[in-house]
């Protein structure tokens, strides 16, 4: 097994596109690291660079302490599983799984041993003599996984491997990948834009935007202490509410509103223009202990266990997540408060960096 280290890794496609921009990342031996970010932020390009399917413009890639920039893809000890992994339609599942290692000249009995082992790990034993078209979508996905496992890579690279599956199968496949990682303990880079997958699978999450890593941290830290406004807005659904304003003498005053809101600011919050962030679950509706502002309910979405209440606050569209038992009607007037200590503050500039 081996860790992966990316040093100032950059990939440009012509002068106009920098897909990956001076990326530094350390993935520990045996770690499960999730790369999360919006479409086009450079996730696939990062994996393809590690796999050797793209050449770095500048920077270095180390696998197991060895610089692999000039090492051929087949000799890097990595296996990549793609979103639209295509199986050979006229080969059996057994031949599909064993294809790559057979091509590498491995003996027949060793190929059989590895295929049987991988099939058992993924509960594919019963399917080995079938053809891909005789499998469900989830089984086909598992065949692609098994084909990666038999190569015994030092590093697994997954590029949204579950995105073609329906919601129920995704959950099942997710738990299988988690179990597989516990058993194989292989270093894994896993790309997704599904937050639940990222939060549940990752030892750590690396959030990317526009080719740049914004934050690398354990999942709960990314949620609780986002490093900047981009991460704060990207992680969490519904997204964090933001209100722009100024801090003056320890008081937050929203832009364009006559009212002041008294909020206990972190002592380090500098005076000046800031963005206040508060998660929907930290917005209190009609709570007698905290009343900061008044608004009118625009929309009520009943999700079952919880209800989302939409309203305008100080010029911004906001959402509160409240218990489903609460009776909140559209067009009614509500009192809004923020849970004590739950507000985040970000610089109101291009960096959007966390304050305090
Ligand atoms: N071969 C290429 N030639 C030119 N531009 C490319 C090429 N491959 C990727 N790009 C560009 O690089 C950027 C990053 O692409 P990439 O595929 O890495 O994004 P991604 O994060 O995987 O997105 P998605 O979530 O949509 O898969 C995009 O702007 C994309 O258009
Ligand atoms: Mg991609």
- Ligand 1: does its nearest atom lie under 6 Å from the Cβ of 206? no
176: nearest Cα among 163, 162, 164, 189:
162
Whether the pLDDT of residue 88 is over 80: the answer is yes
- Ligand 1: does its nearest atom lie under 6 Å from the Cβ of 209? no
Considering the chain, what percentage of its residues have pLDDT values greater than 70?
Answer: 96
Give the pLDDT score at 260. Answer: 63
Q: How far is the CA of 82 from the centre of ligand 2 (A)?
A: 9
Same domain for 260 and 345? yes
Residues with CB under 5 A from ligand 2 (ion): 44
Q: Residue 210 falls within a domain, yes or no?
A: yes
Q: Return the ligand number nearest the Cα of 40.
A: 1
Segment of 43-47, 84-88, 100-104 carrying the highest mean pLDDT: 43-47
Q: Residue 40 falls within a domain, yes or no?
A: yes
> What average pLDDT does the chain have?
91
- Ligand 1: does its nearest atom lie under 6 Å from the Cβ of 19? yes
- Ligand 1: does its nearest atom lie under 6 Å from the Cβ of 18? no
Q: Residue whose CA is closest, atom 5 of ligand 1?
A: 13
Same domain for 98 and 182? yes
Q: How far is CA 59 from CA 25, 30, 34, 68, 226, in A?
A: 12, 23, 21, 11, 27
Whether the pLDDT of residue 264 is over 70: the answer is no
Q: How many domains does the chain have?
A: 2
- Looking at residue 265, what DSSP letter applies? -
Same domain for 26 and 132? yes
Q: Residue 322 falls within a domain, yes or no?
A: yes
Same domain for 282 and 215? no
Same domain for 329 and 258? yes
Q: Which atom of ligand 1 is nearest to the CA of 54?
A: 1
- Ligand 1: does its nearest atom lie under 6 Å from the Cβ of 43? yes
Same domain for 31 and 155? yes
Last residue of a domain, one of 227, 256, 284: 227
How does residue 75 score in pLDDT terms, banded at 50, 70 and 90?
Answer: very high
pLDDT tens, position by position, 296-344: 999 999 999 999 999 998 778 999 999 998 889 999 999 998 888 899 9
Residue of 12, 13, 206 with the most ligand 1 atoms within 8 Å of its CB, for mutation: 13
Give the pLDDT score at 218. Answer: 98
SS3 307: strand
Give the pLDDT score at 68. Answer: 97
pLDDT tens, position by position, 173-228: 888 889 889 988 999 999 998 888 999 999 999 999 999 999 999 999 999 999 99
Whether the pLDDT of residue 116 is over 70: the answer is yes
201: nearest Cα among 180, 221, 223:
180
SS3 173: helix
Same domain for 36 and 8? yes
| Between residues 243 and 218, the one the model is more confident about | 218
Give the pLDDT score at 256. Answer: 66
Q: List the CATH number of the domain containing 20.
A: 3.40.50.300
* Single pTM value for the model: 0.91
Q: Residue 288 falls within a domain, yes or no?
A: yes
- Ligand 1: does its nearest atom lie under 6 Å from the Cβ of 44? yes
Same domain for 244 and 320? yes
Same domain for 253 and 211? no
What is the mean predicted confidence (pLDDT) over 264-280?
Answer: 81
Same domain for 141 and 281? no
Q: Residue 205 falls within a domain, yes or no?
A: yes
Give the pLDDT score at 349. Answer: 93
Q: Residue 233 falls within a domain, yes or no?
A: no
| Between residues 228 and 104, the one the model is more confident about | 228
What is the mean predicted confidence (pLDDT) over 255-283?
Answer: 78
Instruction: Determine the structural domain holding residue 325 and report its residue range.
Output: 238-355
Same domain for 134 and 277? no
Q: Residue 203 falls within a domain, yes or no?
A: yes
Q: How far is CA 240 from CA 16, 271, 286, 343, in A?
A: 32, 22, 20, 10
137-149 and 93-103 helices cross at what angle (nearest 10)? 20
| Between residues 121 and 94, the one the model is more confident about | 94
Give the pLDDT score at 119. Answer: 92
Q: How far is the CA of 246 from the centre of ligand 2 (A)?
A: 38
Last residue of a domain, one of 201, 227, 253: 227
Last residue of a domain, one of 205, 227, 249: 227
Same domain for 26 and 47? yes
Q: List the CATH number of the domain containing 350.
A: 2.40.50.140
Q: Residue 164 falls within a domain, yes or no?
A: yes
């Amino acid at each position: 097994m081996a860790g992966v280290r990316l040093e100032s890794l950059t990939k440009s496609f012509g002068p106009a596109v920098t897909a990956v921009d001076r990326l530094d990342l350390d993935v520990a031996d045996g770690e499960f690291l999730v790369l999360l970010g919006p479409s086009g932020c450079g996730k696939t390009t990062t994996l393809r660079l590690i796999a050797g399917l793209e050449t770095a413009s500048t920077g270095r890639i180390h696998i197991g302490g060895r610089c692999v920039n000039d090492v051929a893809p087949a000799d890097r000890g990595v296996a990549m599983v793609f979103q639209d992994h295509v199986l050979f339609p006229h080969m059996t599942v057994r031949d599909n799984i064993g294809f790559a290692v057979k091509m590498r000249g491995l003996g027949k009995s060793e190929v059989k041993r590895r295929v049987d082992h991988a099939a058992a790990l993924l509960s594919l034993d019963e399917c080995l003599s079938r053809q891909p078209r005789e499998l469900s979508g989830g089984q086909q996905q598992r065949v692609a996984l098994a084909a990666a496992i038999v190569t015994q890579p030092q590093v697994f690279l997954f590029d949204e491997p579950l995105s073609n599956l329906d919601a129920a199968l995704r959950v099942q496949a997710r738990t299988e990948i988690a179990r597989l990682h516990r058993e194989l303990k292989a270093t894994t880079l896993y790309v997704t834009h599904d937050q639940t997958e990222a939060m549940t699978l990752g030892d750590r999450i690396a959030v990317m935007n526009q080719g740049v890593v914004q934050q690398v941290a354990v999942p709960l830290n990314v949620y609780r202490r986002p490093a900047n406004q981009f991460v704060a807005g990207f992680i969490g659904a519904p997204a964090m509410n933001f209100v722009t304003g100024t801090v003056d003498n320890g008081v937050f005053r929203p832009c364009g509103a006559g009212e002041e809101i008294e909020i206990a600011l972190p002592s380090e919050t500098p005076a000046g223009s800031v963005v206040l962030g508060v998660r929907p679950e930290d917005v209190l509706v009609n709570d007698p202990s905290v009343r900061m502002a008044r608004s009118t309910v625009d929309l009520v979405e009943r999700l079952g266990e919880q209800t989302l209440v939409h309203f305008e606050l100080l010029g911004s569209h906001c959402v509160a997540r409240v218990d489903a038992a609460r009776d909140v009607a559209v067009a009614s007037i509500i009192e809004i408060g923020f849970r004590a200590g739950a507000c985040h503050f970000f610089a109101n500039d291009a960096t959007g960096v966390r304050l305090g």
